């Protein structure tokens, strides 16, 4: 298998449009981690992503008859731009099916490359089904984003370059994983040429389809409601069939990372090479950092593939808010203090010589107040020590550093209170970013429920984050409410018992 793939990689035609990207050392990160850290700069490709390699290699290999049919792809991300660029360069009619909630920046980028954009559905699966219908109706050739030998071979040229560019043999290469095209291509080349080099896949916690498949020994499909949408470039429910054949045998391990760790890696990339990568583009570096922390390795040569930089500018605020938490430089606490003069000063004294990064105050009654406080830290142990110290001094403390509702919503909302809060139900949603999404929600809700609280945040992504409070009106039934929420199709989580809500909004 490997020999066949290596031959395909060596024969790939990617350099008609792709460039050989640099392997760049990350100087400050290398010192901090005690290892030689290198970034493979795929964010410098013509479409700012490695995806151009596989897409072009596949399309360039089509017969004249297939080229005459035209090509179609289903993608709202970097694969769409890769296919569009290849179609333009090769003079092939190109159709890209995207979800209706795709940000304008991505739609405009694909159209600028000469492709026709068809908006259909809200998810990749819906877009893919429509693309399949177009194939049946018009005879187009479908270009898969990852599960195709020619696409895999095109992505594998990244590994060929790394092995030629690095002075000596690296100890490990960290590869972001969505459907598996890149990690399969890298593993196929590396394990044939230099089998001692570790190939480590990195996935977002909510989209760890390769990790799930490795543990099960077979491909499994993750539930749609659990998929991570922050690192949208790798938000895939099931690893590819062909990619898993390679990965299960030749990928050494899979590491999963959370949103905060990804945000910290985006910041690290900027600090070291002055590039702003997208969340999936920082995934490999986040995995590298976790690997070093977990295993305590030092003096090794470690390479992370910075896979892409197609990110809306609007997302930077959210990333900057989360980066320090991901770097374990900030801890978030909910603390109850006495409602009397001098309490805040005493609290700061009890914190000691630590930096307060954020402070939100909430009057909670005649005797108590609650505060949402961010504290600068240097280690995870320090976070635990702060909580223990404050508890010992008589404060009621809740560690909210890992509380998504607290970090996404509550920190921006502290101050409101509903008189009938004991009857209030709290839900967190992901609304598709498209016209009519809110009205669809409100119209379906009907008159049985009052909305007592509504907080929306856009992060420049395909989905907005929404926190909603409900109370019954006209005999609303909670079971019917949940049935409606499931029927509408928006992902949701009940947060009525979340301590962040109870402390600051209840």
What residues act catalytically?
Answer: 51, 307
Element (H, E) at 291: helix 283-295
Q: Which DSSP string do the residues of 395-442 spell out, in sequence order? A: -EEEE-TT-HHHHHTGGGTTT---TTGGG-EEEEEEEESSTTHHHHHH
Cα 193 off chain centre by: 31
Q: Give burial (CB, 10 Å; 0-12/13-18/19+) of 316.
A: middle
Measured distance CA(375)–CA(328) in Å, rounded: 11
Tell me the sheet residues that pair with 467: 428, 455
Q: Which DSSP string do the residues of 184-253 spell out, in sequence order? A: HHHHHHHHHH-TTSEEEEEEEGGG-HHHHHHHHTS-----GGG---TTGGG--SS--HHHHHHHHHH--E
338 contacts 367 by C-beta, under 8 angstroms: yes
Measured distance CA(84)–CA(61) in Å, rounded: 16
- Among all chains, which residue has been given the structure tokens 């199709």? 489
Measured distance CA(309)–CA(353) in Å, rounded: 39
- Among all chains, which residue has been given the structure tokens 């801890």? 331
């Amino acid at each position: 298998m490997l020999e066949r793939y290596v031959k395909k990689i060596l024969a790939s035609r990617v350099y008609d449009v792709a460039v050989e990207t640099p392997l760049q050392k990350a100087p400050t990160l290398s010192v901090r981690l005690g290892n030689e850290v290198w970034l493979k700069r795929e964010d410098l490709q013509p479409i700012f992503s490695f995806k151009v390699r596989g897409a072009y290699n596949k399309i360039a290999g089509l017969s004249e008859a297939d080229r005459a049919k035209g090509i179609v792809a289903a993608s709202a991300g970097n694969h769409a731009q890769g296919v569009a660029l290849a179609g333009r360069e090769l003079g092939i009619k190109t159709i890209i099916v995207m979800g209706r909630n795709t940000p304008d920046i991505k739609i405009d980028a694909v159209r600028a490359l000469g492709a026709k954009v068809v908006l259909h559905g809200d998810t990749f699966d819906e877009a893919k089904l429509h693309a399949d219908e177009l194939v049946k109706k018009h005879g187009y050739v479908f270009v898969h984003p990852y599960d195709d030998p020619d696409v895999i071979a095109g992505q594998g040229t990244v590994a060929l370059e790394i092995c030629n560019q690095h002075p000596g043999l690296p100890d490990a290469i960290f590869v972001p994983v969505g459907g598996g095209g890149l990690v399969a291509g890298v593993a196929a080349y590396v394990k044939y040429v230099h089998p001692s080099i570790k190939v480590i896949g990195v996935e977002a916690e909510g989209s760890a389809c390769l990790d799930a498949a490795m543990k099960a020994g077979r491909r499994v499909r993750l539930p749609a409601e659990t998929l991570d949408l922050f690192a949208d470039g790798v938000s895939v429910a099931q690893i590819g069939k062909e990619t898993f054949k390679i990965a299960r045998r030749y990928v050494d391990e899979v590491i999963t990372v959370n949103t905060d760790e990804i945000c910290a890696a985006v910041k690290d990339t900027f600090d070291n090479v002055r590039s702003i990568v997208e969340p999936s583009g920082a995934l490999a570096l986040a995995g590298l950092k976790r690997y070093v922390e977990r295993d305590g390795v030092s003096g090794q040569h470690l390479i992370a593939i910075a896979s892409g930089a197609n990110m809306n500018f609007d997302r930077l605020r959210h990333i900057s808010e989360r980066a320090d938490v991901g770097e374990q430089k900030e801890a978030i606490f909910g603390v109850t203090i006495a409602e009397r003069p001098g309490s805040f000063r005493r609290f700061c004294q009890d914190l000691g010589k630590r930096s307060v990064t954020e402070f939100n105050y909430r009057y909670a009654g005649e005797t108590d107040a609650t505060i949402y406080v961010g504290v600068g830290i240097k280690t995870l142990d320090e976070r635990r020590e702060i909580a223990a110290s404050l508890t010992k001094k008589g404060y009621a403390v809740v560690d909210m550093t890992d509380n998504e509702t607290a970090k996404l919503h509550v920190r921006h909302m502290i101050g409101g209170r509903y008189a009938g809060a004991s009857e209030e139900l709290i839900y967190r949603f992901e609304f598709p970013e498209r016209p009519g999404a809110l009205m669809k929600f409100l119209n379906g809700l009907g008159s049985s429920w009052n909305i007592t609280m509504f907080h929306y945040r856009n992060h420049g992504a395909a989905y907005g984050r929404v926190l909603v409070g409900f109370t019954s009106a006209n005999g609303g039934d909670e079971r019917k409410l949940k049935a409606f929420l499931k029927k509408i199709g928006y992902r949701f989580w009940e947060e009525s018992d979340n301590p962040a809500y109870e402390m600051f909004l209840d």
